[in-house]
Amino acid sequence: MKKIEAIVQENMLSSVVNALKICEVGGLTIIQSQGIGAGARPMLRGARGTAKFQAAYNKISTIITVVEDSKMDTVVNAIMNAASTGTTGDGKIFVTNVQEAFDIATKQSGNNIL
């Protein structure tokens, strides 16, 4: 099993969720997040006057889904297609191995609980 964590721009959330539904993932978790990348954050205008300042954080959404190994490429490509504008700050996808998964209600484990 693989855990796929997609960090995307906040306004791409619904597009990514729709793409994951089409991939028929078993479930997903959404975390509204704030982030900092190596790139510059957007410039914001102050409440008064014309002074501009750099936002402290990027507004991002983190979408987590755990899938069976054979689905990883499909899911990663679907997220990239859904979330990409081709410009800076589009986000990142991190994939990690999942050692085991348990369903709390049935106390079952393994691929078939996803």
- Positions touching ligand ATP (CB under 6 A) are 7, 35-39, 58, 60, 88-92
Residue number with CB closer to Mg ion (1 or 6): 6
The DSSP-derived string for 13-45 is HHHHHHHHHHTT-S--EEEEEEE--SSPPPEEE
Kindly provide the residue ranges of all beta strands, DSSP E only, lying in 1-114, ordered along the sequence.
Answer: 2-9, 29-35, 43-45, 52-54, 58-67, 91-97
Q: Whole-number minimum distance, CB 48 to ligand ATP, in Å?
A: 27
- How far apart (Å, rounded) are the C-alpha atoms in residues 99 and 89? 31
Summarize as ranges the residues that interact with Mg ion (CB under 5 A): 37-39
* From the list Mg ion, ligand ATP, none, partner contacted by residue 68 (C-beta under 5 to 8 A by kind): none
Residue number with CB closer to ligand ATP (3 or 101): 3
Residue number with CB closer to Mg ion (58 or 65): 58
